[in-house]
Structure 1
Amino acid sequence: MPPDVAIRPTPVTDSVDILLRRVHPDAVVPAYAKEHDAGADLHAVSEVTLGPGERALVPTGIAIALPEGWVGLVHPRSGLAARHGVTTLNGPGTIDAGYRGEIKVNLVNHDATEPFTVRVGDRIAQLVLQRVAHARFEEVDSLPESVRGDTGHGSSGGFGPAHPETSGEGGQ
């Protein structure tokens, strides 16, 4: 970006009020670490040790009521993944508007040798809220043509320079 061009933040224009109930006394109300963050941090209320390859549902001690037309998506924390190999399974997890139970985060330890311990109060995931649209599915005999067509699963490349050992196409 040229040095004379300033990035002007755009204000958050969409917000929603969320009802929250603590179901555990150590529960931490989700909060955004920085002003323009998309995800609010979810915290653990139990200590859980994950051995290499192990997974566990880690409770957050909170339950929420999302309004109709909204969904909560539980995303992994990049720091846990980068530093410890710990991430979420079934990610992003989906919290539907009708769900009123405790939010639990399905964590997995991908480190091959080191166990990882989640401690009470640790930030374990992020909650991202999004609007939801319901589709009206209409069955047809054929679909309209598009530039992409029905190609998929790596058809556009994505490895940069050709890698004959991974492309399956001799680097073409």
Structure 2
Amino acid sequence: MATLKIKLLNSNATLPKYQTSGSSGFDLCASENLVLKAGSFTLVSTGLSFSFSDKYEIQVRPRSGLALKHGISALNTPGTIDADYRGEIKVLLINHSKEDFTINIGDRIAQAVLCPIEKAIFEVVEVLDTTKRGEGGFGSTGKQ
């Protein structure tokens, strides 16, 4: 199990938590009140900053309930929080609905997953190995 060090940046910050023992993601909550206008997007403050091992990244993802019930999602999904970032965690939310959406302090606005990473070694070559798929992309492996 990895340690995630958390700095509370203001009195409205909510400590993240896993909702169940089987949850992969922990909740990120708003530390500010705002109205997300229909069809618009904005950064929402969490009042948190993190420190963790450089063997990990944190991926920020939408909450399925907000998407289903209100048309609220996270842009740039999954968003990556690098191990060397020490600034405030903010979530870029978009309102796909036709109704304004009110966000209150403490509302769960996104989920985050601590993911192991492996660094690549880059090697320039003249020829790549061949595969059955080859250069086919954008739906080339299935029926349209």
TM class by smaller structure: over 0.9
Question: Displacement, 1:132?
Answer: 1.0
Given that 1:74 and 1:127 are in contact with CA atoms closer than 8 Å, whether structure 2 keeps it comes out as yes
Tell me which residue corresponds to 2:27. Answer: 41
Q: Taking CA–CA contacts closer than 8 Å with sequence separation of 6 or more, which of the two structures ends up with the larger relative contact order?
A: 2
TM (norm. structure 2) is: 0.96
Question: Displacement, 1:156?
Answer: 2.4
Question: Displacement, 1:140?
Answer: 1.3
Structure 2: how far apart are the matches of 1:141 and 1:117?
Answer: 55
1:142 to 103, 124, 127: 127
Tell me which residue corresponds to 1:53. Answer: 39
Indicate the SS of the match to 2:89. Answer: strand
Given that 1:66 and 1:96 are in contact with CA atoms closer than 8 Å, whether structure 2 keeps it comes out as no
Larger radius of gyration: 1
1:71 to 57, 60, 71: 57
Question: Displacement, 1:61?
Answer: 0.7
After superposing on structure 2, the runs of 4+ consecutive aligned residues of structure 1 that deviate more than 4 Å are none
* Alpha-carbon RMSD: 1.1
Structure 2: how far apart are the matches of 1:78 and 1:23?
Answer: 27
Q: Could you give the per-residue CA deviations for residues 27-47 of structure 1, whole angstroms, max 9, x where no partner exists?
A: 111100010110000000111
Tell me which residue corresponds to 1:110. Answer: 96
Tell me which residue corresponds to 2:105. Answer: 120
Given that 2:133 and 2:141 are in contact with CA atoms closer than 8 Å, whether structure 1 keeps it comes out as no
Structure 2: how far apart are the matches of 1:52 and 1:156?
Answer: 37
Q: Could you give the per-residue CA deviations for residues 46-103 of structure 1, whole angstroms, max 9, x where no partner exists?
A: 1121112110100001101011111011011000111111100011111100001110
Question: Displacement, 1:147?
Answer: 2.3
Paired residues for 1:152-163 under 5 Å: 152-157=137-142
Structure 1: segments with no counterpart, 5+ residues:
1-14, 159-166, 168-172
Structure 2: how far apart are the matches of 1:97 and 1:156?
Answer: 35
